[in-house]
C-alpha cells in the first residue's frame, strides 16, 4: 500500500538550484506547494522563485539535515549531488528518487555496468585506469572511440573523441590519470530521448520519443514528436520504461539514445531528473515534466502527457549576448513562440541562459519557427 500523499500546502525541497529547479518550483507553487532549495550559490535560478533559498556546501551535512527536516520530501534537479548529501537528507525526510538511483547514474562506469548487466543495449565500452588499459581497449573496440571521465560529466564535458589509435596515449594523458570509460564511436543516424515518469504505485507514463540536435556536445534543438519510424519509437519507449522499473525510480527520468543506421536503439545516458529535452512539455503538454516530478515525489496520481500541438525547443546559449542584449521583441513578434529565461546573472559562451518553445501544425513547422525566432534575436 502506498504511503499517504503529500498534499498542497506542504513544503518540498530541491537539492540544486539551476533552471530545472526553477521550473519545478514554478510548477509546485502553481499547485500550492512551498519550495525550499539548497545549493552553494545565492540568487540562483531556483532561489529567485522558491520560498526559501538555503546557501551551504553540499558537504555540510548538518546543514543538509536541517534543510531536510523543514520539508516533507526532497528531490534533485541535477544528479551530481554527493552520495553522502543524499544519505543525510534521507535520514531526515523522504527522498525521491532514492539515493541508489543517483549513485548509479552520476558515474558513467556504474551506469554502463548497470545497463550491461541487465541486458540493456549500449555501445561497446571498456574501463580505463591506466595507459595499458587504454592501449588494450583501443585494440579491442577499435580506434574510433570516445574517452569519457567516469564521474561528474554533462553537456559534453570530460569527453575526448579519438579518430586513430595513435591519438589514444595523448587522450589518456589529457585526462590526467582519472578513471575513464572508452566507448566505441557509433555511426548514428540521429539522437533521441524519452522523458518518462514513474509514480509511487509503479505507474509509468512518458512524453513520447523526441528528436535532439546537438551543437558542441550541448543540446541545441528538440523536436516533439520526434520524426522517427514507429519501430524505433517503440524500442526507445519500451527501454525507457524498463529502466525506470529496474532502477525503482519514483520521479522523472530521461533516457538518451543513439539510433543506428540500421534502426537499432542504443542507450547513451540516463538522467534521473527532468531534462533539457523535456522543456517543451512546460508549454505544449497537458502535464509538464516539472509538474509530473512534483506529482510523483508527493505520491499524487500522474497527469496526462498528451502533446497539445507539435513543438520544438531551442536553447539560448550565452553566446547570444556577445553583441549586447538579444532582441526579445523580434522573437516574440512570432505569436506561437514562448520565451523562458532562467534569471542567470551573467552570460558566457556555452552557458544555458534560457530557451524558446515554438508550437505549430507540424513538427517541421515548429522546428523552423524555433530556429527563426532564435535567429531573430541577433538579426539587427
pLDDT of amino acid 315: 98
pLDDT digits (tens, 9 = 90+) for 46-70: 999 999 999 999 999 999 999 999 9
pLDDT of residue 335: 97
Taking Cα atoms as reference points, which of 92, 85, 91 lies closest to residue 39?
Answer: 85
Phi and psi at 191, nearest 5°, equal: -115, 135
Dist CA 104 CA 111 (whole Å): 5
Domains and their CATH numbers in the chain: 11-95 (3.40.50.20), 124-184 (3.30.1490.20), 188-376 (3.30.470.20)
Q: Are 301 and 343 in contact (CB under 8 A)?
A: no
If you average pLDDT over residues 86-100, what whole number do you get? 96
Give CA angle at 258 (255, 259), nearest 5°.
120
- Checking if the pLDDT of 185 tops 80, the result is yes
267: preceding bond cis by omega (within 30 degrees): no
Cell digits for 150?
Answer: 567516469
Residue 1 — pLDDT band, cuts 50, 70, 90?
very low
Query: Which of these ranges, 26-40, 84-98, 157-171, 303-317, has the smallest mean pLDDT?
Result: 157-171
Alpha helices for 164-288 (secondary structure H) = 168-174, 230-247, 281-284
289 φψ region: left (φ > 0), alpha (ψ -120 to 50), beta (else): alpha
State the cell numbers at 78. 541535477
Average pLDDT over residues 165-182: 91
**How many of the other CB atoms lie within 10 Å of CB of 185?**
15
DSSP lists the bridge partners of residue 55 as: 39
Amino acid at each position: 500500500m502506498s504511503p499517504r500523499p503529500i498534499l498542497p500546502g506542504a513544503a518540498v525541497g530541491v537539492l540544486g538550484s539551476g533552471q530545472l529547479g526553477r521550473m519545478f518550483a514554478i510548477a509546485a507553487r502553481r499547485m500550492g506547494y512551498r519550495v525550499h532549495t539548497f545549493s552553494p550559490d545565492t540568487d540562483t535560478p531556483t532561489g529567485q522563485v522558491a520560498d526559501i533559498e538555503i546557501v551551504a556546501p553540499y558537504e555540510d551535512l548538518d546543514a543538509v539535515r536541517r534543510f531536510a527536516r523543514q520539508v516533507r520530501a526532497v528531490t534533485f534537479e541535477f544528479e551530481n549531488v554527493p552520495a553522502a548529501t543524499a544519505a543525510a537528507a534521507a535520514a531526515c525526510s523522504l527522498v525521491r528518487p532514492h539515493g541508489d538511483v543517483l549513485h548509479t547514474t552520476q558515474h558513467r562506469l556504474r551506469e554502463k555496468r548497470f545497463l550491461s548487466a541487465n541486458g540493456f543495449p549500449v555501445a561497446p565500452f571498456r574501463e580505463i585506469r591506466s595507459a595499458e588499459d587504454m592501449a588494450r581497449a583501443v585494440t579491442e573496440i577499435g580506434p574510433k572511440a570516445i574517452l569519457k571521465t567516469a564521474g561528474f560529466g554533462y553537456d559534453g564535458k570530460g569527453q575526448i573523441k579519438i579518430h586513430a589509435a595513435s591519438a589514444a596515449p595523448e587522450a589518456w594523458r589529457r585526462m590526467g590519470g582519472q578513471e575513464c570509460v572508452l566507448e566505441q564511436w557509433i555511426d548514428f543516424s540521429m539522437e533521441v530521448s524519452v522523458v518518462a515518469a514513474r509514480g509511487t504505485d509503479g505507474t509509468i507514463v512518458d512524453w513520447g520519443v523526441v528528436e535532439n540536435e546537438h551543437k558542441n556536445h550541448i543540446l541545441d534543438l528538440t523536436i516533439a514528436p520526434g520524426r522517427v519510424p514507429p519501430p524505433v519509437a517503440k524500442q526507445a519507449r519500451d527501454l525507457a520504461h524498463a529502466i525506470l522499473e529496474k532502477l525503482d525510480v519514483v520521479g522523472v527520468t530521461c533516457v538518451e539514445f543513439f539510433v543506428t543506421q540500421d534502426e537499432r536503439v542504443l542507450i547513451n545516458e540516463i538522467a534521473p531528473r527532468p531534462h533539457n529535452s523535456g522543456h517543451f512539455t512546460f508549454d505544449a503538454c497537458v502535464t509538464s515534466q516539472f509538474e509530473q516530478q512534483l506529482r510523483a515525489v508527493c505520491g499524487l496520481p500522474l497527469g496526462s502527457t498528451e502533446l497539445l500541438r507539435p513543438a520544438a525547443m531551442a536553447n539560448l546559449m550565452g553566446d547570444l549576448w556577445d553583441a549586447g542584449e538579444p532582441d526579445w521583441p523580434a522573437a516574440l513578434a512570432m505569436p506561437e513562440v514562448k520565451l523562458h529565461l532562467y534569471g542567470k546573472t551573467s552570460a558566457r559562451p556555452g552557458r544555458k541562459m534560457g530557451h524558446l518553445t515554438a508550437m505549430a501544425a507540424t513538427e517541421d513547422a515548429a522546428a523552423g519557427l524555433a530556429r527563426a525566432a532564435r535567429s531573430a534575436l541577433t538579426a539587427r
